[in-house]
Chain A
Amino acid sequence: MKKELQVAAVKDGTVIDHIPTEKLFDVVNLLELANLRDEITIGNNFASKRMGSKGIIKITGKFFNPEEINRIAVVAQGIVLNVIHDYEVCEKRTITLPDELKNIVRCANPKCISNNEPMQSHFHVVDKKTGLIRCLYCEKTMTLSQVKLK
């Protein structure tokens, strides 16, 4: 039986797959897709064997550098990146946290200078698996579950 594609295939570009449905629009915002002029398909609540339901984003003609794309690991683990050239998947990997998070999340410490000045936040990622991060300013260690997106 022919497998029906849920959205049209991409010739050249990026497919971001296995996004938890409730995190889809966080990912859209983190990647600043509203500012792109490329062709974008955003789908949500698609059936997924692994997740039950999932979100998916396809962007034609756009390739992200690792620093741009890795920031979306802040909202969920297990999102999969596919890089497509001429309808072929050239790279497929699960997105992991970058070493540094610049201006992506807000420090959980209300007495941190980064919550009290018009400035960017900055964290070192201490443990990519557990999502442990350390604020470069107040030096407090916290988990991603304790922080909010900026």
Chain B
Amino acid sequence: MENESFVTIAEHSKEDLLYLLEMAQHFEKQPNRNLLTNKVVATLFFEPSTRTRLSFETAVNRLGGRVIGFCDASSSSTSKGESLKDTIMMVSNYADLIVMRHHLEGAARYASEISPVPIINAGDGANQHPSQTMLDLYSIQKTQGTLENLNIHLVGDLKYGRTVHSLLQAMRHFNPTFHFIAPKELAMPDEYKEYCLKHHIQYVEHAEFNEDTIASADIIYMTRVQRERFTDLMEYERVKHVYILRNKMLEKSKPNLRILHPLPRVGEIDIDVDDNEKAYYFQQARNGLFARQAIICNALGITLSDLK
């Protein structure tokens, strides 16, 4: 792969994704390397996201690079009305790479068009969060030994959850069978079901969330069902306790099952699941470090052979 911006998951080929995952494996074996000596990485968080920012900044620090940036647009010139373009042009004078999160959709794509240095999208509104998808893929590959032919159960908010949409797009290369488990108001949008049909991705929709619907799962990907997403609050009250994963629901599950969640969780996985060996969400977050080290190095033109 050439050194390039990392903006959206859908534009990456199977080879690109597997290449980045292989890089991430090397970083898991040895996360501390002096690959970014004399490099400055800017983390521009126009919208706060502590978890993602810390993960990116840790990735840079462990590779020997330095970090500049801001974690809240109110502390940048954006609050004075500066355009995104001007901020990017200014920062690109200082940094070798820009990691950015922005509340507007497409902000990272636009930044990548105007910036002389590569851009990594750390989330652009409801649109994309591709480094999350890379760590999800890495977690699936690591726990299952493969990405091919898996049963992946997506549970919760499948309408607004960008992580499930990006995961669905990324998995198109690997012949998955998806199971969509969501309340009616938060069902998988038609746009993504059409995407599945177009890319020959099999899917099954379930209204019920119980031990039988998840018995065939290799991966359960839980997401948060948020009250503010409902127009009908009666419906929210009816379903809010339905889409909660509890330990006793895992009795019929497959031995290789692993449970993922992009975090933060707010009750949709009962804490009695945490001690089950199938709970993987905390390790999943840790994998974000290795996935982001791979994305950063690739953007700066560091190749797999440099890691061996």
Binding site for B on A (CB under 8 A): 109, 111-114, 116-119, 135-141
Bitwise, B59-92 to A at CB < 8 A (1) or not (0) is 0000000000000000000000001110000000
Binding site for A on B (CB under 8 A): 8, 10, 83-85, 102-107, 109-110, 124-128, 191
Residue numbers in A under 8 Å from B84 (CB-CB):
113, 117
Residue numbers in A under 8 Å from B105 (CB-CB):
109, 111-113, 137-140
Residue numbers in A under 8 Å from B109 (CB-CB):
113, 136-137
Given contacts A137-B105, A137-B107, 20 further A-B contacts (CB under 8 A): A111-B105, A112-B104, A112-B105, A113-B106, A113-B109, A117-B83, A117-B84, A117-B110, A118-B85, A119-B110, A135-B106, A136-B106, A137-B106, A137-B110, A138-B105, A138-B106, A138-B125, A138-B127, A139-B10, A139-B127
Give B191's nearest chain A residue, CB to CB: A141
Closest Cβ–Cβ distance, residue B64 to chain A (whole Å): 33
Distance of A33 Cα from B30 Cα, bound (Å): 63
Closest Cβ–Cβ distance, residue A121 to chain B (whole Å): 10
Q: A117-B85, A139-B127 are in contact. Are A111 and B8 (CB under 8 A)?
A: no
Distance of A140 Cα from B8 Cα, bound (Å): 13
Distance of A138 Cα from B125 Cα, bound (Å): 9
Closest Cβ–Cβ distance, residue B77 to chain A (whole Å): 14
Distance of A135 Cα from B128 Cα, bound (Å): 14
Closest Cβ–Cβ distance, residue A111 to chain B (whole Å): 5
Residue numbers in A under 8 Å from B103 (CB-CB):
111
Which of B103, B104, B107, B126: most chain A CB closer than 10 A? B104
Distance of A119 Cα from B104 Cα, bound (Å): 14
Closest Cβ–Cβ distance, residue B169 to chain A (whole Å): 10
Residue numbers in A under 8 Å from B10 (CB-CB):
139
Residue numbers in B under 8 Å from A139 (CB-CB):
8, 10, 105-106, 127-128
Distance of A115 Cα from B110 Cα, bound (Å): 12
Closest Cβ–Cβ distance, residue A134 to chain B (whole Å): 11
Residue numbers in A under 8 Å from B106 (CB-CB):
112-114, 135-139
Residue numbers in B under 8 Å from A111 (CB-CB):
103-105, 125-126
Give A114's nearest chain B residue, CB to CB: B106
Q: Is B107 touching A113 in the complex (CB atoms < 8 A)?
A: yes
Distance of A113 Cα from B105 Cα, bound (Å): 6
Residue numbers in B under 8 Å from A137 (CB-CB):
105-107, 109-110
- Can you offer 11 A-B residue contacts whose CB atoms are under 8 A? A111-B104, A111-B105, A112-B105, A114-B106, A114-B110, A117-B84, A136-B109, A137-B106, A137-B107, A139-B106, A139-B128
